[in-house]
Structure 1
Amino acid sequence: MAVTEDTDGMRARRSDAQRNRARLLVAAREVFAESGLAVPMSEIARRAGVGIATLSRNFATREAIIDATFAPRMTAYADAMQAALGDPDPWNGFSQYVWTVCGMQAADRGFAHVLTMTFPSALELEAERTRAYKGLRTLIARAKAAGALRPDFSSVDLALILMANAGVVGATGDAAPTAWRRMVAYFVRACAVDAVDPLPPAPRARQMQQALHRIHDPL
């Protein structure tokens, strides 16, 4: 009898722990989407209906809960790249990819920031980001080879538009929720090969990495 009670008690505790973790992830998705990544951890715990100690047991750091919350969305981001590469029209694949990822940012303020930051210990998140980046280089090369994408376009330029779009999404919010679409339309038009005005030099990859880490530091 004692063995059964102990077993039942362990199962109940495991079930409670699983429910708490699930509630925390739902709350994190909601809070991050509404308010961005800098929201207090205590607000996530409050929204989930648990104590801060329970949150800490499940997710020791802010980066850990960001990883668990956004890894599926980062997978969707990388999958969108694969869909773009499968488009027989290289320009359409490129432009639709830009629209897709900017739309993902607009739909979720938290993810808008995740796309412009790096999280070295969030292994699943960063693995999917790397998969998308490798595809981006191929996508750019295809669009240039087709004579559709301006030859001075760099992969850094997509990082710049994502940073800009995150700022527009955060600034306009509910007041002008479609404003991001006008900015993205300008960007896509400027990427076309017949947009003849030369661009200033693109930042070097190392400079962009420093910029991304600087965005991440406050967290």
Structure 2
Amino acid sequence: MPARNVRKDAARNRERIIDAARIVFREHGISAPVATIARIAGVGTATLYRHFPSRDDLLTAMFGDQARHRIAVLDDAVADPDPWRGFVRSLETVVEMEMENPGLSEAIVSQRHAIPVYEELRVHAVAALATLAARLRDGGIVGEDFRVADILLILAALKGISDTAGENAVPQARRFIHHLAHGIKRP
């Protein structure tokens, strides 16, 4: 029986470390000291390193599922019979995900070469966004010059909203997306 208790304690410690990392990374960015994470989790740094030998391991545990979820969101957007609806839903979902797990975008950009799931997300995202942009162009929904870079620009604007709008980020992001969809100039 003692071995089973140790495993439960280890699992609890692992979850507490991940929860603490979310808090610390949200407040201080992904370069925050691991000692701060350990302190907030109520464990020693040795325990933290036993579960996550490197910062990359902690980031993978923390953001790996969210990265895979973003891949699924993109796949859904590309598969939607209405490319505009898929595009708008994916933008809204990405904002909501960023609000729930701030730092994922930063981690993907800064750690993508070190963490395989991030590089997988980046490669998959570029291909999916290219397909989505082509579907939007082919459907006459956007101009012929609309490319992946334009989607990335929109995502950067939405990231700015999620970084600065606090709890109002999702409604403000939806308003921004509405303006994108309908334009701001009256006919």
TM-score category of the 2 structures, normalised to the smaller one: 0.7 to 0.9
Structure 1 unaligned regions, length at least 5: 1-7, 191-219
Deviation at 1:70, TM superposition (A): 0.6
Q: Tell me if the contact between 2:111 and 2:118 (Cα under 8 Å) persists in the aligned partners.
A: no
Match of 1:85 in 2: 78
Is 1:66 aligned to 2:56, yes or no?
no
TM-score, length-scaled by structure 1: 0.69
Structure-to-structure mapping, 1:23-172, within 5 angstroms: 23-33=16-26, 36-114=29-107, 117-172=110-165
Q: Tell me if the contact between 2:18 and 2:61 (Cα under 8 Å) persists in the aligned partners.
A: yes
Output one character per residue of 1:114-135: Cα deviation in whole Å (capped at 9) or x when no partner.
4554421111232233223322
Match of 1:213 in 2: none
Deviation at 1:97, TM superposition (A): 1.8
Deviation at 1:46, TM superposition (A): 1.8
Q: Which letter maps to 1:105?
A: E
Tell me, in whole angstroms, the C-alpha distance in 2 between the residues paired with 1:127 and 1:34. 27
| Length, aligned pairs only | 182
Q: Tell me if the contact between 2:26 and 2:102 (Cα under 8 Å) persists in the aligned partners.
A: yes
1:19 to 2, 5, 12: 12
Change (3 A) 1:165 1:94: closer
Deviation at 1:82, TM superposition (A): 1.6
Cα RMSD between the aligned structures?
A: 2.7
Q: Tell me if the contact between 1:20 and 1:50 (Cα under 8 Å) persists in the aligned partners.
A: yes
Deviation at 1:104, TM superposition (A): 2.0
- Richer in helix (by share): 2
Q: Which letter maps to 2:126?
A: Y
Output one character per residue of 1:51-87: Cα deviation in whole Å (capped at 9) or x when no partner.
1222123223323211110110111111111211221
Structure-to-structure mapping, 1:187-198, within 5 angstroms: 187-189=180-182
> Higher Cα Rg: structure 1 or 2?
1
Structure 2 unaligned regions, length at least 5: none
Q: Percent identity?
A: 35
Deviation at 1:155, TM superposition (A): 0.9
Tell me, in whole angstroms, the C-alpha distance in 2 between the residues paired with 1:115 and 1:147. 32
Q: Which letter maps to 1:170?
A: D
SS in 2 for 1:109: coil
Work out which structure has the larger RCO, using CA pairs closer than 8 Å and 6 or more positions apart in sequence.
1
